[in-house]
């Protein structure tokens, strides 16, 4: 019997996929089953376009304890401890309702971490908006920042790192990627695998409502201008705090077999995934599910994405202890089913079967697609543009250009954002937001610590998605190296447009291949991640935005350094002296262009530069380190002076001569470049270290005084620069 196209549209299935479901099932699914299949076969849950590509990523390494396939990845820290990390997107809900969309994105990623048995200790976010002078973008910006701050602050988890970027292509499709890290004893890690037929399935946390129904499918199709307020969840961070503490406490018993959070596709996804990992089946009775709304159907209960809920598999002998703990935390905890040995997800209502599907059909039978990949001709033309065709910057224009870039929302101080986040909660934060290229956190009771950061330059990725993604990996690793940490592992969030279009699929393929190459050469495995596709409206896609979240390990957290210069001392440039204007912030600000080839990237040089910086910090030679990224060398020098509240006198004649142009030397961008300040008398040690690592090094000048002076080009009070830099985001918003 033909099915109405609007029904297939609602569950995000194509006619081909519907026919496949019938063939595999041997019958037509009923509406409940159809909704369950649609949710699990959606792009958001089924990874239809990305699954074949993600196999290219390196996922193992000497420190990896848990790679992709669980709620989060886990990496060895030492002394029996692991760091657990994951990043997720909440882009589509945020475009509809920015405050709750961003807030519940935080709630979801936190549940992924404590579902592994780890205590969450820090959050990071990666945000993308349209031009901030536009009223709607201000609404989105303030809503997103407010939602992240509200949920994290109430939950008691500090938001300590992140990145933000503004570009016209994000007008209709803002991006909110939330990352969380946690600490656990390796022996206490728990996997979401429903084993042991006869074990009980327990639903814990908030009552189930109609919010979030079709959230997974909504995030898996193009849907311009349509209202989706019914699919945006509403968060309750105070309830999640109780849930977090209660779940960690019940894991101290020996009664919990598995734990899974309820995120996209709700009860359907959670139950199917833990059954699939355990090679079992599950039987649920939706009549037992606590509800906050009357008249809910089994379809609605199974697909609700109400927040602050967890699914546990519990040994019957320990059920009384488990339920008693949840009661003490004033949480609903209800036995709603059991693990079976028949491999089926069976849904009952008051004992009557209303849906019955093979678990493998839901989790493994989704079609995957290999599409035509073709680069857009317009992008090739942009990349072929030669910035040298433009007039060079004149010496008299340098100070004015410096001020304009410092005020640029992409470069300006992020204090208006992070001042809304309580980064001091839990008292682990050593280097807070704004003080360094990455956040640094202590691990209580240990000498070692961790560093974390998110990064991605979408201009580079638009112009060359493979090279741009390699830059994202390299810069994220460089950021944690600049505080003294060895990069350990990556969690990625791949944000793209509609992969059914050849030019978008090309971006996705190239980005993953670039990530695989960079991670392989730099020796950093990808242990978890997320893919968010269909980020476009009326055929206008976001730039490819493969966000890289990274965690590094500091052997001695007391040895970390920030980006701010510390007192008087000499400043050096480690790495390449050559830069390019292609894809640069300077080109966008001065000429209104996103064009040219992004900077080349020598991954071997990148590896050596980072190793040199880390060793210099560990040996006490380097007092401050800062990556040269958006805005180039002059911006990096100014930022280190402003953060350290000390001026400096610098010379750039040799760099100008090497680059052949004033604008390229001062504001051009390049990979594998770090400015460092060395301790008095340690200049020779730095030069020797650079020789050992095979890293170019060049003296830039020295710090001191209260003015920022660059040869004959710039001579300004540091206070003026600080005023320009700290008001950029405020003025734009």
Please give the positions annotated as active site: 44, 90
Backbone phi and psi for residue 175, each to the nearest 5 degrees, phi listed first: -115, 135
Give the chain's radius of gyration (CA, Å).
Answer: 26
Burial annotation 626-658 (CB, 10 A radius, 16+ → b, else e): bbbbbbbbbbbbbbbbbbbebbbbbbbeebbee
Alpha-carbon distance of 528 to 518, in angstroms, equals: 16
Alpha-carbon distance of 46 to 549, in angstroms, equals: 22
Of 545, 717, 540, 553, which Cα lies nearest the Cα of 645? 717
Structural tokens at position 368: 């995957």
Alpha-carbon distance of 526 to 666, in angstroms, equals: 34
Burial annotation 107-146 (CB, 10 A radius, 16+ → b, else e): bbbbbbbbbbbbbbbbbbbbbbbbebeeeebbebbebbbe
Of 345, 353, 468, 326, which Cα lies nearest the Cα of 36? 345
Alpha-carbon distance of 334 to 288, in angstroms, equals: 7
Alpha-carbon distance of 174 to 189, in angstroms, equals: 34
Alpha-carbon distance of 449 to 619, in angstroms, equals: 17
Residue 269: CB atoms within 10 A of its CB come to 27
State the residue for tokens 């129904």.
213
Name 137's Cβ contacts closer than 8 Å, sequence gap at least 6. Answer: 129, 130, 131, 166, 171, 174
Q: Evaluate whether 459 touches 581 at the Cβ level (below 8 Å).
A: no
Element spanning 176, H or E: strand 175-185
- CA torsion 396-401-404-406 (nearest 10°) is -120
> Starting from the edge strand earliest in sequence, which strands make up the sheet with 119-129, in order?
64-66, 73-78, 81-89, 175-185, 119-129, 159-166
Alpha-carbon distance of 356 to 347, in angstroms, equals: 6
Sign of CA dihedral 9, 13, 14, 19: negative
Q: Evaluate whether 109 touches 299 at the Cβ level (below 8 Å).
A: no
Helices in 482-602 by DSSP H: which ranges? 502-522, 585-591
The string of DSSP letters for 251-279 reads TTSS-EEEEEE--TTHHHHHHHHHHHHHT
Q: Evaluate whether 484 touches 449 at the Cβ level (below 8 Å).
A: no
Residue 76: CB atoms within 10 A of its CB come to 18
Q: Evaluate whether 441 touches 159 at the Cβ level (below 8 Å).
A: no
- CA torsion 650-656-662-665 (nearest 10°) is -80
Element spanning 654, H or E: helix 653-659
Element spanning 344, H or E: strand 344-349
Name 128's Cβ contacts closer than 8 Å, sequence gap at least 6. Answer: 164, 165, 166, 167, 170, 174, 175, 458, 495, 542, 545
Strands of 470-613, DSSP E? 486-495, 526-532, 536-537, 540-541, 545-554, 570-575
């Amino acid at each position: 019997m033909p099915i109405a196209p609007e029904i297939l549209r609602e569950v995000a299935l194509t006619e081909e996929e519907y026919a496949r479901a019938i063939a595999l099932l041997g019958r037509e699914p009923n509406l409940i089953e159809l909704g369950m299949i649609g949710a699990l076969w959606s792009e958001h849950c089924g990874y239809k376009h990305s699954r074949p590509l993600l196999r290219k990523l390196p996922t193992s390494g000497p420190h990896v304890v848990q790679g992709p396939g669980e709620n989060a990845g886990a990496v060895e820290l030492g002394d029996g401890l692991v760091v657990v990390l994951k990043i997720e997107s909440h882009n589509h809900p945020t475009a509809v309702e920015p405050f709750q969309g961003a807030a519940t994105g935080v709630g979801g990623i936190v549940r992924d971490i404590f579902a592994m048995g780890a205590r969450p200790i820090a959050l990071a976010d990666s945000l993308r908006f349209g031009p901030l002078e536009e009223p709607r973008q201000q609404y989105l910006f303030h809503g997103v920042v407010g939602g992240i701050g509200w949920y994290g602050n109430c939950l008691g988890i500090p938001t300590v790192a992140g990145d933000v970027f503004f570009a016209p292509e994000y007008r209709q499709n803002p991006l909110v990627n939330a990352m969380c890290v946690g600490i656990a004893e390796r022996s206490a890690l728990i996997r979401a695998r429903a084993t042991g037929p006869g074990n009980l399935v327990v639903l814990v946390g908030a009552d189930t409502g109609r919010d979030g129904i079709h959230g997974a499918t909504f995030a898996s199709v193009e849907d311009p201008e349509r209202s989706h307020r019914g699919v945006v969840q509403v968060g309750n961070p105070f309830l999640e705090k109780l849930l977090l503490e209660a779940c960690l406490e019940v894991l101290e018993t020996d009664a919990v077999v598995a734990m899974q959070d309820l995120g996209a596709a709700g009860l359907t996804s959670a139950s199917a995934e833990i059954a699939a990992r355990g090679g079992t089946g599950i039987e649920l009775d939706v009549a037992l599910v606590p509800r906050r709304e009357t008249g809910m159907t089994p379809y609605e209960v199974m697909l609700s994405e109400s927040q602050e809920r967890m699914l546990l598999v519990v040994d019957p002998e320990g059920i009384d202890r488990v339920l008693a703990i949840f009661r003490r935390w004033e949480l609903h905890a209800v036995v709603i089913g059991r693990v079976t040995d028949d491999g089926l997800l069976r849904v009952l209502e008051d004992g009557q079967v209303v849906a019955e599907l093979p678990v493998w059909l839901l989790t493994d039978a989704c079609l995957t697609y290999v599409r035509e990949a073709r680069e857009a001709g317009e992008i090739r033309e942009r990349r072929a543009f030669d910035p040298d065709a433009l007039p060079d910057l004149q010496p008299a224009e340098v100070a004015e250009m410096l001020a304009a870039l410092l005020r640029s929302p992409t470069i300006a101080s992020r204090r208006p954002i992070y001042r809304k986040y309580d980064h001091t909660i839990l008292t682990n934060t050593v280097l807070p937001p704004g003080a360094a290229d990455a956040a640094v956190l202590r691990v209580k009771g240990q000498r070692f610590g961790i560093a974390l950061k998110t990064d991605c330059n979408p201009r580079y990725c638009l112009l060359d998605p493979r090279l741009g993604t390699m830059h994202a990996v390299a810069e994220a690793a460089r950021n944690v190296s600049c505080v003294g940490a060895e990069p350990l592992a990556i969690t990625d969030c791949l944000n793209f447009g509609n992969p059914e279009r050849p030019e978008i699929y090309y971006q996705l393929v190239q980005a993953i291949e670039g990530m695989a190459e960079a991670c392989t050469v730099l020796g950093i495995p990808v242990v978890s991640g997320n893919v968010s596709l269909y980020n476009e409206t009326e055929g206008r896609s976001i730039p490819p935005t493969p966000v890289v979240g990274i965690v590094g390990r500091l052997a001695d957290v007391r040895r970390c350094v920030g980006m701010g210069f510390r007192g008087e001392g000499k400043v050096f440039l480690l790495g390449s002296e050559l830069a390019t204007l292609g894809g640069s912030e300077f080109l966008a600000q001065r000429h209104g262009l996103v064009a040219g080839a992004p900077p080349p990237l020598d991954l071997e040089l990148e590896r050596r530069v980072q190793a040199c910086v880390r060793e210099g910090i560990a040996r006490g030679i380097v007092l401050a380190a800062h990556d040269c990224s958006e805005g180039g060398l002059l911006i990096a020098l100014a930022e280190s002076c402003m953060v350290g509240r000390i001026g400096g006198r610098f010379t750039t004649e040799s760099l100008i001569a090497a680059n052949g142009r004033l604008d390229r030397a001062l504001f051009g961008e390049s990979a594998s470049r770090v400015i460092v300040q060395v301790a008095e008398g340690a200049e020779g040690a730095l030069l020797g270290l650079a020789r050992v690592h095979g890293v170019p090094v060049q003296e830039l000048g020295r710090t001191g005084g209260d003015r920022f002076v660059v040869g004959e080009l710039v001579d300004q009070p540091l206070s003026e620069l600080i005023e320009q830099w700290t008001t950029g985001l405020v003025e734009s918003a």
